[in-house]
Structure 1
Amino acid sequence: MLQRIHAHAGPPAWPLHGLARTREIEAAALQVVPPFTLMQRAGDAVARLARALAPHTRRAWVAVGPGNNGGDGLVAAIALRRTGIETFVTLAGEPSRLRGDAKQAHALALAADLQWVEQPPLGFGRAGDIALDALLGIGASRAPEGALAALIDRLNALACPVLAIDVPSGLDADTGQPHGDACVTATHTLSLLTLKPGLFTGQGRDRCGEVWLETLGVDIDPGSVDASLGAAPPAAGWQRAHAQHKGSFGDLVVIGGAPGMAGAALLAARAGHAAGAGRTYLSWLDETGPALDGEHPELMIRRALWKDDLLREATVVCGCGGGAAVRAVLPRVIGQAARLVLDADALNAIAADTGLRQLLIARGRGGRPAVLTPHPLEAARLLGRDTASVQADRLRAAQALADELRAVVLLKGSGSVIAAPGGAPIINPTGNAALATAGTGDVLAGWLGGRWSTSHAASIDDARQAASAAAWQHGQAADLSPTTPLRASDLIAALHAQLRRG
């Protein structure tokens, strides 16, 4: 059954399977169904979706590669032609290279009324046409070259819908990064059998367009996942009992705002308060910081609050605009905070200080939760790598950092990754480049702290759930916003309105 993968859908979360596990699932399925069955189902599903996406189309072009992905495309071409659509097929490579089911699909295609062409016909690509990318599947491991690269360029130049089969050709199914310069940018992608992580992180979201799934009638063990796609958090609204009071929703302490960087801490504190924390405290790292937030006087500003025993019961967000000054307060913050969110300069300090790193690890081993919210450069510093290596495999980088530091890691970026020690990561499906403005990361850290504060929960699993929920809500606020770029202050208002709507 064809299913559209909607970023704003509620639970349960969609399971994601990488290349190796998908191959295992496919191999097991092939043992119990007749030969060619899965390819026939795949091609038929592609044709059904193509007709649904372009219901009035009279012409289709199918770019076919030399593997099973090409075989799926050939079966789809046959099915499209049967419905009266004029169907053009371009085969990249020699037919003699086709093997197994793909070879059978080619034989059937030769007997069908298809038009075999080297390029789509003149004028193809106008409104009403549709193209199918069946050049490379999930098994591609190197940059497309020669005829394959030329056909990818041709697909990308079309103005009509482009439906990629399984993954856009040239995209790594596990990482969401192109293998080289040539990579299809599809308007829709039909993932077959399983959903792959690379469709939702890195460049995957830009390359795949709208994602669909067809499981081909195969039952998949729900426990055998490599990752999951985050879903809308349950009870995302503003449900409060009448008898509750501000003490019911916890204390949030924001520590940051070194000289010249007050804005970051203010944004985090305002976001945490808007998220529902019962009492929100702001403690400047700048001794000359203002004693009152004129726009939000409900924020309680306290000097040197990191020395107070309040931290033992509070949720603490530390590092937003922290500068070099944050380093001196981190030992006590890491040691005392009941629930801890570390962002920005706090992460840079830990990356540069082995002692702080060991304190954080010891905290995690003691079962006391912390969430780290790095962007790729901060993650690279913590891992001792460069940013490119983090972005090359975002899931593995986030998981390595979570396992090493014994903390939950929310690696920001396109398809933010939430990883916890020893678990399968979550990829957040919401958000867009409207968030690519200064201060939105501070808002995320504060929002996460505020939402977590209301739960009073303090386990690693609670931290993971809080991080996933905050990332989802943060992204959804951008998806629903009519404004691009989205200013950080406006983002707080949008998040608060989202809670009010439930």
Structure 2
Amino acid sequence: MLPVLPLSRDVLLHDAASSRRVEAAALARHPAHGLIERAGWAVARLALALVPHGRTAIVFAGPGNNGGDGLIAARHLAARGWSVDIRLVGPAAKAGSDAAHALHAARHEGLHPQLGAAALADLPASTDLVLDALLGIGASRAPAGDIADAIRAIETMRMRGAPVLAVDVPSGLDARTGQALGDAVVRADHTLSLLTLKSGLFTGEGRALGGRLWFDDLGEATGDPGDDAPGEDRDGIARLIGRERILRWQRAFARSAASHKGRHGDVVVLGGAPSMRGAAWLAATAALTAGAGRVYAALPDDDGHPWPARPELMHWDVERWSAPALGWRDAVAVCGCGGGTAIAPALSTVLHGSARVVLDADALNLVAADEALQDALRRRAAQGHPTILTPHPLEAARLLGLQAAADIQADRLGAAVALAARFAATVVLKGSGSVIASPGQPLAINSTGSSALATAGSGDVLAGWTGGLWAQSPGADPHDLACAAVAWHGAAAEGHAGPLLAADLIEAMAALHAAAA
């Protein structure tokens, strides 16, 4: 058993369906009730480690195998001298099931679970641990009735200071999407994912609701995506990526002793309308700091004044987009950062001719509102010109013709895949657990980052950094490059208390260059 984060390598993520396939294969390798006994013991071991001086626990157990895991854990805690208060919630377990076995074994050891209305009455004033074993991965609709009441009881105990350990996923959280299924959802301090890692723990609301994440494969080696993994173990729906992606990129594109700026490519940032110059400045500075050889900014109504504190950045007359002989086609075009509608004419030219394009912010909104720009974007892939899109949820909704960011958040994985397919591009759907999707590539979810990134301009920094990496590595796979950029962006914010201003974020990202030296 290990904490999941930080990662040392990619790991596979599963939803309920793929988890059940892995579970079925594992069950075939074990005697009856053997696997659930392992799972319950794993929960108990983590509880003992998290609360080494604990003596009391309250276990909320549902009718399925998740509840069975909790009952077996309760049995082990009681055997070690804990006073365990078990509350059974929901209908009776099916006869002969693992859950029924767990209940019988608990009673055989002298435990007396409370049932019915009594299960949710007379909560103790305090306890050393609350165990959420209500629903697990099978939940597909909003909790209601006694289950919802039990979830609210868990929250009451948490607010009184008791730590909450959730089994597999916090009850009320969708195991695939990371969204709360309804108003009642457990907010855990720790979550132990068993046998497989669930994608919903790492995107949407999953990171906020799951607390610190732990994993136990129950001896089945299901978390390893390597080529030597058994077939059923490679049946995941996504890969969880982390800092290793930064190191992978740095090794692949390390600078030689003979390097000079001409070998590291050019970036042109198209954006920065008069009232939004800061966005273009942040993107251009990020591209320069990432290592691009030369960085220009193409600003509507450019006044030609020097860039604040960054004299290395150069100006680019917007009219140069209509002059291919000047060489702009080979530069990486980062479009949209603070550009408003003023960049629309130049954006059309870029989409039709630039070899590599990163679209962010206002460029995405212009594409969403213009079918001609959408057609130009789709044609780029057929011409061998890759594109990376970096939308936040509302921009993604506009691109898919949906009404609100909530429509995207309801299924972030599906939305990213749909965008990548619609525009034949690599998509970075930003947010907690950014999702990276490309046609024909394994879906990825980023594990780095924190709420420190929730500041104005952090998206401009990501777009510029992506362009800066791409300028240095024109032959890089856009999906791998996007994964590296997103992991880098998030890693720089980890460990920061409070908001991280975008200009300071660039400096923190630069420090990760030094860490690899």
Equivalent of 1:378 in 395, 407, 410: 395
Q: Which amino acid aligns with 1:205?
A: R
Alignment deviations for residues 330-363 of structure 1 (CA, whole Å, 9 cap, x no partner): 2221122222100111111111111111111111
Within the candidate set 469, 474, 486, 2:500 is matched to: 486
User: In the alignment, which residue of structure 2 is the partner of 1:9?
Assistant: 7
In the alignment, what sits opposite 1:438? 456
Structure 1 stretch displaced more, 307-316 or 56-65: 307-316
The one-letter code of the counterpart of 1:289 is D
Report the Cα offset of residue 109 of structure 1. Answer: 0.7
1:337 aligns with 2:354: yes
User: By how many angstroms is 1:33 displaced?
Assistant: 1.9
Cα 1:416/1:253, change in 2 over 3 Å: same
Please report how far the alpha carbon of residue 365 of structure 1 lies from its aligned counterpart in structure 2 after TM superposition: 2.5
1:237/1:501 contact within 8 Å kept: no
- Classify the secondary structure of the residue corresponding to 1:195: coil
TM-score between both structures, scaled by the size of structure 1? 0.94
Counterpart residue number, 1:226: 237
2:26 corresponds to 1:29 = yes
Whether contact under 8 Å (1:225, 1:424) holds in the other structure is no
Equivalent of 1:272 in 273, 279, 287: 287
Q: 1:261 to 1:94 in 2, by over 3 A?
A: closer
For the residues of structure 2 that align with 1:184 and 1:36, how far apart are their CA atoms?
A: 27
> Which residue is equivalent to 2:228?
none
* TM-score, normalised relative to structure 2: 0.91
- Change in CA separation of 1:115 and 1:251 when aligned onto 2, cut-off 3 Å: same
**Paired residues of 1:236 and 1:499 also in contact (CA < 8 A):** no
Question: Equivalent residue of 1:396, what SS?
Answer: helix
Q: Deviations over 1:10-68 (max 9, x none)?
A: 32x01001111111121222223211111111001110111111111111111100111
Q: Which amino acid aligns with 2:138?
A: G
Partners of 1:218 and 1:496 lie apart in 2 by: 40
Alpha-carbon distance in structure 2 between the residues aligned to 1:96 and 1:152: 19
1:117-171 Cα deviation digits (max 9, x unpaired): 435753323xxx1111001111111111222112211212221221110110000
* One-letter amino acid matched to 1:287: D
Residues in 2 aligned to 1:23 and 1:442: alpha-carbon distance in whole angstroms: 40
1:175 to 1:469, Cα distance in 2 relative to 1, 3 A: same
Distance 1:289 1:379 in 2: 33
Greater alpha carbon shift after TM alignment, 46-55 vs 228-237:
228-237
Q: 1:237 to 1:32 in 2, by over 3 A?
A: closer
Inter-partner Cα distance in structure 1 for 2:448 and 2:305: 37
Once the two structures are TM-superposed, the CA of residue 364 in structure 1 deviates from its matched residue by 1.4
Q: What are the residue-to-residue correspondences of 1:393-472 with 2, within 5 Å?
A: 393-458=411-476, 462-472=477-487
The whole-number CA distance in structure 1 between the counterparts of 2:208 and 2:18 is 24
Tell me whether 1:179 sits opposite 2:181 in the alignment.
Answer: yes
Matches of 1:230 and 1:306, distance apart in 2: 36
1:219-275 CA distances to partner (integer Å, 9 max, x unpaired)?
Answer: 543532200111212256695322111112111111111231111111100111111
The residue number in structure 1 matching 2:152 is 153
1:409 aligned counterpart, secondary structure: strand
- The amino acid that maps onto 1:354 is E
Q: What is the SS of the residue equivalent to 1:51?
A: helix
Moved more, 318-327 or 95-104: 95-104
Corresponding residue for 1:122? Answer: 124
Q: Counterpart of 1:276 in structure 2: which amino acid?
A: G
- Superposed displacement of residue 444, structure 1: 0.8
Once structures 1 and 2 are overlaid, which stretch shifts more, 239-248 or 405-414?
Answer: 239-248
Q: Secondary structure at the match of 2:427?
A: strand
Does 2:336 match 1:319?
yes
CA distance in 2, matches of 1:346, 1:112: 65
Query: In the alignment, is the contact (CA less than 8 A) between 1:87 and 1:115 conserved in 2?
Result: no
CA distance in 2, matches of 1:96, 1:443: 52
Comparing 19-28 with 113-122, which one deviates more in the overlay?
113-122
**1:353 alignment partner AA:** D
Q: Does 1:75 align with 2:72?
A: yes
- Pair 69,249 (structure 1): closer, same or farther in 2 beyond 3 Å: same
2:373 matched to 1:367?
no
1:246 to 261, 264, 273: 261
Which stretch shows the higher mean deviation, 219-228 or 349-358?
A: 219-228
The reply on whether 1:92 has 2:107 as its aligned counterpart is: no
Q: Secondary structure of 1:261's partner?
A: helix
Rounded to whole Å, the distance in 2 between the matches of 1:376 and 1:94 is 39
Q: Which residue, out of 11, 19, 24, partners 2:16? A: 19
RMSD between aligned alpha carbons? Answer: 1.7
> Which residue of 173, 184, 197 maps to 2:199?
197
CA distance in 1, matches of 2:323, 2:307: 21
Q: Would the alpha carbon gap of residues 83 and 17 (structure 1) be closer, same or farther in structure 2, given more than 3 Å must change? A: same
Aligned residue identity for 1:230: I
Residue in 2 aligned with 1:356? 373
Question: Judging changes above 3 Å, is the alpha-carbon distance between structure 1 residues 99 and 424 closer, same or farther for their aligned structure 2 residues?
Answer: farther
Q: What is the deviation of 1:93?
A: 2.7
Secondary structure of the structure 2 residue equivalent to 1:496 = helix
Indicate conservation of the 8 Å contact 2:16/2:137, yes or no. yes
What's the counterpart of residue 473 of structure 1? 488
The verdict on how the C-alpha distance between 1:399 and 1:36 changes in structure 2, with shifts beyond 3 A counting, is: same
**For the Cα contact (< 8 Å) 1:403–1:422, is it kept in 2?**
no
| 1:92 partner letter | V
8 Å CA contact 1:237, 1:500 repeated in 2: no
**Count, aligned residues:** 491
Letter of the structure 2 residue corresponding to residue 16 of structure 1: L
SS in 1 for 2:44: helix
Q: What is the aligned partner in structure 2 of residue 217 from structure 1?
A: 219
Residues 1:469 and 1:88: Cα distance change in structure 2 (over 3 Å): same
Q: Distance in 1 between matches of 2:62 and 2:353?
A: 59
Shift of 1:492: 1.1
Question: Does structure 1 residue 104 correspond to structure 2 residue 119?
Answer: no
Report deviation, 1:307: 2.9
Identity of aligned residues (%): 50
Offset of residue 442 of structure 1: 0.6
Give the SS at the match of 1:90. strand
* Distance of 2:444 and 2:93 partners within structure 1: 42
Distance 1:47 1:347, change over 3 A: same
SS of alignment partner, residue 492 of structure 2: helix
Q: Which moved more, 1:201-210 or 1:334-343?
A: 334-343
> Of the candidates 259, 262, 273, which is equivalent to residue 277 of structure 2?
262
CA change 1:375–1:329 in 2 (3 A) is same
TM-aligned CA deviation for residue 455 of structure 1: 1.5
Q: Unmatched 5+ residue regions in structure 1?
A: none
C-alpha distance in structure 1 between counterparts of 2:34 and 2:328, whole Å: 61
**Any stretches of 5+ residues in structure 2 without a counterpart?**
223-230
Please tell me the residue identity of whatever aligns with 1:476: A
Q: Does the CA-based 8 Å contact 2:7-2:241 persist in structure 1?
A: no
Residue identity opposite 1:153 in structure 2: R
Look up the match of 1:496.
510
